[in-house]
Amino acid sequence: MKIKLLYVTALAFFGSSAFAQNKDYKMIGYTHSAQYKKSYKLDSLQKDYLNENFILLFNQDQSAFRSVSRFLLDSVKRTDEYNRLEQRDRIAVSMEYPSNNEELIYTNLDAKKITVTTFAAVHPAVDPSYEEWPLLKWTILDEYKTINNFDCRKAELDLYGRKWTAWFSLTHNAPFGPYKFSGLPGLIISISDATSSYKYELYKLKTESVRYPLQIHNNVKLVTKQEFKSIVDSGRYGMSLFKEAIMDNDQYKRVEKLKLDMKAKENNPIELIP
């Protein structure tokens, strides 16, 4: 059902500047990459987890967090071959890299700033972005265990309406982790919330030189966090994108119902209190 909706949405967005050639954005040099598996429940009543892999790029004071699928697509979009394709072919390529997580999360410890940017399926096209610096009050505990061959220590945190338990590395002192988590004396290996709705666990860590754009979106608009959510929700659950789409009334109603059903089920966001 979601694949069908994704296809219809892509066709409605056909010709949008969201598929325009990428600009030459500032590149950041990273020295390490870590890959995490995210297991989560968007519907608080669902039994099975959704799973998606993410990549965390980091150096001494900066990090970028992106779904692996979108990270790979970002690379494809920067090739000459991709930019020579017709719009419909670009849509087909993009659908080979599906993701339920569109955000690029950039953390700069020196600037004390987290920047979140995402794609929004709205018309006219806009990629909303907001900045914040949440206060992360970690409590480090005298509990230890080994996870995936990493010796770890336990820490706890209350953030965004959830109680989080993290296990950070005792040997890799990078102060980063998945999503917006940072500030511990070691790389976060695993973190989950008390309801077991969200969990990230590291499965690969590499020392490698990677250059990645500070920004990968084409129509960035800096907004407040509240405005960001409103724009994203409008695209994900609303019908503004389809106002000018060529579809009959029955098709329109089917898409509208799919979106309303999706909104009802996606009742368990990672941030209960933004």
The H or E element that residue 62 is part of is strand 62-67
pLDDT at 16: 36
Phi and psi at residue 32, in whole multiples of 5°?
A: -145, 155
Q: Tokens in use for 241? A: 């994108």
Per-residue CA distances from 261 to 7, 174, 239 (Å): 17, 41, 13
| Number of residues in the chain | 274
Q: Tokens in use for 64? A: 């970028």
d(CA 19, CA 38): 27
Per-residue CA distances from 144 to 4, 74, 201 (Å): 46, 38, 16
Give pLDDT tens digits along the chain (274 positions). 444 444 333 333 333 333 334 456 789 999 999 999 999 999 999 999 999 999 999 999 999 999 999 999 999 988 999 989 998 999 899 899 999 999 999 999 999 999 999 999 898 889 999 999 999 999 999 999 999 999 999 999 999 999 999 999 999 999 999 999 999 999 999 999 999 999 999 999 999 999 999 988 889 999 999 999 999 999 999 987 776 666 778 888 898 899 999 999 999 999 999 8
- Dihedral sign from CA coordinates of 273, 105, 114, 165: positive
Per-residue CA distances from 248 to 40, 120, 202, 241, 244 (Å): 36, 24, 47, 15, 11
